[in-house]
């Protein structure tokens, strides 16, 4: 059994440093690198790509809404054609820093990710933008989401993603960050949860409902020092159970 272990990186901006990319890249196999719209800037993008290459980490674009102040977590009303162009532009920008200009994957960020998970029209626009930039790249999306359905319909490669450090609603969506139970911060609980999701190929919602799903990738958010212990413990737990962490499925 093999999975990707991914994290969102390259989210610093100018002199403002966010996250611990150097440490995280020693643990994950896939890096979702911000493309300058919700976070990141050209220098940060270039340096993060270089770090990922040093660690032999699969490089992916992490496009979001143009919303630095809200960190891409606020919904912006856009027409499908505008979303397509928004995604294509950001994917192309990051690819310019990668040797051969080819990315391994693309994973939408924040509000765009959540919208694409539920709204087929948004999902189709996101996938169209990715495909226009590089039809060979892998589309990362929330397991069982509209984005996964759209990628499949478009003939794109895709990876169904689950979150070790986020709780789920009964409809398969992530619990809103505005709620107290949205995030799991205990490394032991997150590690046990990651193993169970992979072994069972299912996700358990906060109300106890079990949702069967294929899971190809586990995402861990690592934007503080304590979270480094979380990703390390998750990786160790998966490896101990014979689950291979890979950058190529």
Contact (Cβ atoms closer than 8 angstroms) between residue 61 and residue 90: yes
Residue 249's pLDDT band, with cuts at 50, 70 and 90, is: low
**Residue 213 burial (CB count, 10 A):** 19
Candidate ranges 174-178, 212-216, 219-223; pick with highest mean pLDDT: 212-216
pLDDT tens digits along 75-100: 999 999 999 999 999 999 999 999 99
SS3 at position 12: coil
CA 49 – CA 95 distance, rounded (Å): 9
Return the pLDDT at 33: 98
User: What is the CATH number for 162?
Assistant: 3.20.20.370
Contact (Cβ atoms closer than 8 angstroms) between residue 75 and residue 103: no
Return the pLDDT at 1: 78
Q: How far, rounded to the nearest angstrom, does the alpha carbon of residue 207 sit from its chain's CA centroid?
A: 25
The mean-pLDDT minimum among 7-16, 58-67, 87-96, 177-186 falls in 177-186
Please name which of 94, 174, 173 lies closest in space to residue 137, comparing C-alpha atoms. Answer: 94
* Average pLDDT of the chain, as a whole number: 94
Return the pLDDT at 225: 65
For residue 43, give every residue at least 6 positions away whose Cβ sits within 8 Å of its Cβ, in sequence order, or none.
none
Higher pLDDT, 228 or 7: 7
pLDDT tens digits along 6-37: 999 999 999 999 888 999 999 999 999 999 99
Residue 133's pLDDT band, with cuts at 50, 70 and 90, is: very high
The mean-pLDDT minimum among 108-117, 133-142, 203-212, 220-229 falls in 220-229
Domain count, the chain: 1
Return the pLDDT at 175: 94
> Is residue 228 over pLDDT 90?
no
Range(s) of the domain holding residue 71: 2-245
CA 92 – CA 82 distance, rounded (Å): 15
Q: Structure pTM?
A: 0.94
> Is residue 221 over pLDDT 80?
yes
For residue 16, give every residue at least 6 positions away whose Cβ sits within 8 Å of its Cβ, in sequence order, or none.
none
Q: Which residue has the tokens 């996250």?
A: 19
> Is residue 197 over pLDDT 80?
yes
> Is residue 227 over pLDDT 80?
no
């Amino acid at each position: 059994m093999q999975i990707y272990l991914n994290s969102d990186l390259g989210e610093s901006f100018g002199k403002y440093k966010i996250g611990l990319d150097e440490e995280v890249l020693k643990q994950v196999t896939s890096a979702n690198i911000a493309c300058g719209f919700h976070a990141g800037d050209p220098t940060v993008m270039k340096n993060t790509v270089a770090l990922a290459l040093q660690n032999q980490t699969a490089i992916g674009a992490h496009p979001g809404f143009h919303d630095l102040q809200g960190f891409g977590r606020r919904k912006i009303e856009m027409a499908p054609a505008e979303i397509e162009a928004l995604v294509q532009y950001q994917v192309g920008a990051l690819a310019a820093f990668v040797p051969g200009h080819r990315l391994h994957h693309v994973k939408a960020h924040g509000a765009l990710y959540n919208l694409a998970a539920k709204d087929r029209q948004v999902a189709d626009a996101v996938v169209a933008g990715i495909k226009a930039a590089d039809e060979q790249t892998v589309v990362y999306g929330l397991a069982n989401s509209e984005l996964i359905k759209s990628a499949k319909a478009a003939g794109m490669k895709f990876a169904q993603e689950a979150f070790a450090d986020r709780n789920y609603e009964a409809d398969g969506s992530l619990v809103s960050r505005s709620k107290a139970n949205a995030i799991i911060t205990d490394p032991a609980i997150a590690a046990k949860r990651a193993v169970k999701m992979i072994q069972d190929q299912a996700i358990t919602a906060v109300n106890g409902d079990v949702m069967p799903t294929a899971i190809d990738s586990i995402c861990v958010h690592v934007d503080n020092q304590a979270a480094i212990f979380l990703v390390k413990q998750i990786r160790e737990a998966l490896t101990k159970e014979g689950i291979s962490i890979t950058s190529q499925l």
